[in-house]
Amino acid sequence: MTLLLAGDIGGTKTILQLVEAKREESKAAVELRNLYENRYSSHDFPDLVPIVNKFLEEATEKLGEKQQPEKACFAIAGPIVNNTVKLTNLPWMLDAKLMEKELDISHISLINDFEAVGYGILGLTPDDLETLQPGEPQADAPIAVLGAGTGLGECFLIRGAGSIRVYPTEGGHADFAPRSELEFHLLQYLLKKHNIDRVSVERVVSGMGIVAVYQFLRDRQSATESPEIGDVVRQWEKEIGSTEITVDPGAVIGKAALEKSDRLCEQTLEMFVEAYGAEAGNLALKLLPYGGVYVAGGIAGKIMPLMKSGSFMEAFNRKGRMRPLLEKVPVHIVLNPQVGLIGAAIRASNL
């Protein structure tokens, strides 16, 4: 048995988990058992180390004996360079080597939060997934993962000699590729609105993308804007760029679309889901991931009826002569919101 510490570190909250890992020598898979978990407000601490110390003290008190993990992995929303990271939304500079000494943990790894999601795919059960297309899975094939949330994360997994490695990418920043006259108009709208010379797919397939599509459809008067939704969007437009944003228009738009209470919101999510499916299909064309495409991120699970309506998979498979290939790719939506924590624990077990 190996005692591990896994963490999901964000600008708002930090979630830590103490995990017991058991690995059979004949198998690459690892069995994880959650011993203790807690979450903390990141802004209440000057650094990650005091949070970990507090967590381990609480775990020791809860479990009745001193808890000292052998290995740790922290998933962080930010670019990792040489196992160090400067967090975007916190005044923290983390260095894994220094933390190993301060926390008396032999091995600590810092990984990108979406890379952690990639590792987390390996620890999911069938109950953690909603299958959109069963496909024809191949055990030795690549696995693709993408997820729209605040941004658009993409990564892929490759099987090697008795192990699986996750490769993070910046695929969410590839060019947005319009597929219809309406999407061409959306592209032109975003170029002009933001005074930019290119539009990334993340500007459309993400939480901010939902708002961008809504603004586009609103401004071209595709449907009548309701006062309630309009007030939320205009409040957000005033606050965007400030240090404090008090509303979440993407969530409001998504809720209204699910309830079918606002035609403009319905049109917005229809366009968003199709763009999401098209990008998932683009990723699948580049990797031929017969090990599966896994759709993670915070949005898909919240709009599940819309993801299952058929337009996502139709856009995924609508790749001309390549349709027969993509119809063989398994496609799943990840339901477990702790997939990143699971991934951090799996990565820690491999250190």
DSSP secondary structure string, 88-147? SSSS-EEEHHHHHHHHT-SEEEEEEHHHHHHHHGGG--GGGEEEEE-----TTS-EEEEE
pLDDT attached to residue 28: 58
Q: What is the pLDDT of residue 49?
A: 96
Asked whether the predicted pLDDT for residue 57 surpasses 50, the reply is yes
18/177 Cα distance (integer angstroms): 43
Poorest-pLDDT segment among 88-92, 127-131, 344-348: 88-92
Q: Which residue has the tokens 């909603």?
A: 130
Query: What pLDDT is recorded for position 162?
Result: 72
How high is the pLDDT of residue 36?
95
* Residue 25 predicted with pLDDT over 70: no
Higher-confidence residue: 106 or 241? 106
Bridge-partner residues for 91, per DSSP?
none
Average pLDDT of every residue of the chain: 93
Is the pTM higher than 0.85? yes
- What pLDDT was estimated at residue 24? 63
Please spell the DSSP secondary structure of 298-344, one letter per residue.
TTGGGGHHHHTSSHHHHHHH--GGGHHHHTTS-EEEE--TTHHHHHH
The pLDDT of residue 10 is above 90: no
pLDDT, tens only, 100-140:
999 999 999 999 999 999 999 999 999 999 999 999 999 89
Q: How confident is the model at residue 90 (pLDDT cuts 50, 70, 90)?
A: confident
Query: Which residue ranges make up each domain of the chain?
Result: 2-124+337-349, 172-334
- Domain 2-124+337-349 fold is Nucleotidyltransferase; domain 5 (3.30.420)
Residue 263 has pLDDT above 90, yes or no: yes
Pair 253, 175: CB distance under 8 Å: no
Per-residue pLDDT at 228: 94
Fold annotation for 172-334: Hexokinase; domain 1 (3.40.367)
pLDDT tens-digit series, residues 154-185: 999 998 777 889 998 999 999 999 999 999 99
Indicate whether 26 pLDDT > 90.
Answer: no
Phi, psi of 71 (to 5 degrees): -140, 155
* Residue 176 and residue 201 in contact, taking contact as beta carbons nearer than 8 Å: yes
